Structure 1
Amino acid sequence: MKKNNITIKDIANKAGVSKATVSYVINNKPGVSEKIRNKILKIMKEMNYIPNAVARGLAGKKTHYIGLIIPDISDMFYADIIKGVENKTNSNNYLLNLVTTHAEKAKEKQVIDLFTGGIVDGVIIMAYHINEEYIKILKERNVPFVFIDYPFTTNSVYTVTVDNFDGGYKATEYLIKAGCKKIAFLKGSSVAWDSENRFKGYLKALNDYSIKIDDSIIKDANFRREEGYTKTLEILSNKDIDGVFAANDQMALGAMKAIKEKNLNIPEDISVIGFDNIESSKFSEPTLSTVEQPLCKMGEKSVELLLELIDEKKPKSKKISLKTELIKRKSTK
């Protein structure tokens, strides 16, 4: 069977599903299980199927779709970025094609392979596992792409980042100046460069203020509220602390729950600060101090960069770095 003669019906027959199901997968619509979706994507790749949108792209016409790849749609952190991306795509007469990868290495590459096959005019990528070697592959495909918050060492990649190191430093310094001497740190995913940079800011602040680093109060909590809760309970059962800095608000909210269960007061006994300034941080009890990232602006800036690349213009800068802002609320002294 020739490459250009393959149809949706061929894909559907091989997968044992309806043509509508294949169409849902191609257009990234809900209503298809993860197992069936992955099966169809695999068959499309094996059969070298080119959707109509790709055919239009190969003919030199724009699809007017922009792809956005993110790890998780359930976290408000990503929801705010999506909002910024969608605002900018809509105002520029583009449609958004969104896919989540759950931070799985294989899924990241699978989705990027699909998007860079011509189904969209350009791709915005938030991924944990893409390395410099894979960047070479992306460039070879001649599909414009922009990363959000990825600290590439090379200057050949367009990216929108936040100064996570500075944010981590500011949060820790704020706790220290409020009188905290034993500050626990809750880290995010082990492959998350943003969490690592916040951690480096935390370490630098402790060093600058001559506070000894205690590895026993530094815990991996995987950016999740539940793990922020359980890891804080572990710390409290063995150590006396007077501050907690969590690398995101979700973990900070979990830490606050653990502190309350130990009949300790926030912030009188333990101050807590998070990172991101998600919506729920404004409504916690007490309200959560945090470091705000301009998430919506990150999304908007990434689209602006990508549209310049799609229109074959040369952006003024390959790396846009945005600043964080310390938000003081009632969870800190």
Structure 2
Amino acid sequence: MKKKRHSIKDIAAKLNTSVTTVSFVLNGKAKEMKISEELTNKVLAYAKKINYKPNQLAQGLRTGKSNIIVFMVEDISNYFFAKIARIIEDIAYKKGYKVIFCSNENDDERSRDLIRLFKERQIDGYIIIPSPGIQKDIEELMNENIPVILFDRYFPNFDSHYVIIDNRDAAYNATLHLIKNKFRNIGFITINTGQIQMLDRLKGYNEAIQKYELVENILEIPYTAVSMSHARDIIRDYIMHNEIDAVFFATNYLTQSGLEAIKENFPHLLNELGIITFDDHELFKIYSPSISAISQPRYAIAQNLMEIMLKLLKESKLSDEYNNVVLKSHLYSRESTKSRKSGFYS
């Protein structure tokens, strides 16, 4: 049988006192409210005896403050997002906050449902990777004086707090790395989406290709087709019908699909193609050959997000000055992009 969760009402009924009195005692306001020491001790002793635990969400409804932050991302199981979430959880916990993690699957209706749910529960603040059509929903939260920070991407021409990396610069340098290592037919595999971070990665690739007067070779996979098996088949066909000597994957999950496609269908290319990925993963270091990767500064991202959030949570009224943090990434050069013996550039 499921154990009953004790409430403040249960304590008040047992001790024949008011719910308000019990609430004051449990919130450390007994002296301030001139509650006798005898009654205070009775309440505390009984609460300990029954192992009373406050319902934090219900407490938030009463006080308007829950000490809970939402971290909403595209997919919380994604390696990059999960690592950031773990760092945020640690920082938040030390400051007396708990974090609720959730995935919006880049779906507007799901994002709105989650936001509605959390608003009803008086969540204190939101760190959100926004799906494409929720700018108005974000704006409504901000108009209600609720702290919101966008992460990984933002809405152009919309004032908000955000923490991102310089995606254009990272993709430009990664493409340049391939070019300088004598690759000339560089394919770029990305998602067909209007997300600002993905557009910036494409822009960085294009700028490097154009600078060296090479030919662009871009595969845009529909967002609805990014499941492992479907993406793998699309990448297989792309490699089969395009004469490329290197490939730049715009996300680590595309890299995973791509490596599987290559290993299953063109195993000899694992040591011939130049391969580079956006978003590093621990497995890329031990893969054979090890995979060159752009590594986003996870700790710096999480630290900046929480510094801004904790500051906003202290403000009684949010100002119109916004924190926009743009961080640099790091390129790890590994075996998959080693300089070839011959090529267009020497």
Shorter-chain TM band: 0.7 to 0.9
The equivalent residue for 1:200 is 203
Decide whether the 8 Å contact of 1:228 with 1:253 is kept in 2: no
- Counterpart CA distance in 1 for 2:233 and 2:299 is 31
Measure how far apart 1:143 and its partner are. Answer: 1.2
- Counterpart CA distance in 1 for 2:151 and 2:288 is 32
1:139 and 2:142 aligned: yes
Decide whether the 8 Å contact of 2:72 with 2:129 is kept in 1: yes
Question: AA paired with 2:296?
Answer: Q
Match of 1:70 among 69, 73, 87: 73
Q: Deviations over 1:12-61 (max 9, x none)?
A: xxxxxxxxxxxxxxxxxxxxxxxxxxxxxxxxxxxxxxx62442343xxx
> Matched residue of 2:336: which SS?
coil
- Counterpart CA distance in 2 for 1:86 and 1:282 is 26
Structure 1: any 5+ residue segments left out of the alignment? 1-50
- Counterpart CA distance in 1 for 2:201 and 2:285 is 21
The equivalent residue for 1:329 is 334
Match of 2:95 among 82, 92, 96: 92
Instruction: Give the CA RMSD over aligned residues.
Output: 2.3
Q: Where does 1:168-183 land on structure 2 (aligned, <5 Å)?
A: 168-183=171-186
1:52 and 2:53 aligned: no
Decide whether the 8 Å contact of 1:83 with 1:299 is kept in 2: no
The equivalent residue for 1:159 is 162
> Matched residue of 2:335: which SS?
coil
Decide whether the 8 Å contact of 1:171 with 1:326 is kept in 2: yes
Measure how far apart 1:327 and its partner are. Answer: 0.6
Q: Deviations over 1:234-292 (max 9, x none)?
A: 1222121100000112212322232333142334x211100111222222221110101
- Counterpart CA distance in 1 for 2:180 and 2:332 is 15
- Counterpart CA distance in 1 for 2:80 and 2:240 is 30
1:220 and 2:192 aligned: no
Decide whether the 8 Å contact of 1:248 with 1:276 is kept in 2: yes
The equivalent residue for 2:274 is 271
Question: AA paired with 1:294?
Answer: P
Would the alpha carbon gap of residues 278 and 314 (structure 1) be closer, same or farther in structure 2, given more than 3 Å must change? farther
Tell me the TM-score normalised to structure 1 length.
0.76
Measure how far apart 1:297 and its partner are. Answer: 2.5
Decide whether the 8 Å contact of 1:56 with 1:63 is kept in 2: no
Q: Where does 1:1-333 land on structure 2 (aligned, <5 Å)?
A: 52-58=58-64, 62-154=65-157, 156-188=159-191, 190-214=193-217, 217-220=218-221, 222=223, 225-260=228-263, 261-267=265-271, 269-312=272-315, 318-333=323-338
Alignment coverage as a number of residue pairs: 277
Decide whether the 8 Å contact of 1:228 with 1:252 is kept in 2: no
> Matched residue of 1:127: which SS?
coil
- Counterpart CA distance in 2 for 1:56 and 1:309 is 21
Question: AA paired with 1:331?
Answer: S
- Counterpart CA distance in 1 for 2:274 and 2:227 is 19
> Matched residue of 1:232: which SS?
helix
Measure how far apart 1:213 and its partner are. Answer: 2.0
Decide whether the 8 Å contact of 1:289 with 1:332 is kept in 2: yes
Tell me the TM-score normalised to structure 2 length.
0.74
Which structure has the bigger radius of gyration? 2
Measure how far apart 1:219 and its partner are. Answer: 3.0
- Counterpart CA distance in 1 for 2:158 and 2:273 is 42
Decide whether the 8 Å contact of 2:155 with 2:196 is kept in 1: no
- Counterpart CA distance in 2 for 1:117 and 1:310 is 18
How many percent identity over aligned positions?
26
Question: AA paired with 1:70?
Answer: V
Structure 2: any 5+ residue segments left out of the alignment? 1-56, 339-346
Would the alpha carbon gap of residues 70 and 57 (structure 1) be closer, same or farther in structure 2, given more than 3 Å must change? farther
Decide whether the 8 Å contact of 1:108 with 1:129 is kept in 2: no
- Counterpart CA distance in 2 for 1:332 and 1:171 is 10
Measure how far apart 1:78 and its partner are. Answer: 1.0
Decide whether the 8 Å contact of 2:164 with 2:301 is kept in 1: yes
- Counterpart CA distance in 2 for 1:305 and 1:315 is 14
Measure how far apart 1:316 and its partner are. Answer: 8.2
The equivalent residue for 2:24 is none
Decide whether the 8 Å contact of 1:54 with 1:120 is kept in 2: yes
Decide whether the 8 Å contact of 2:138 with 2:148 is kept in 1: no
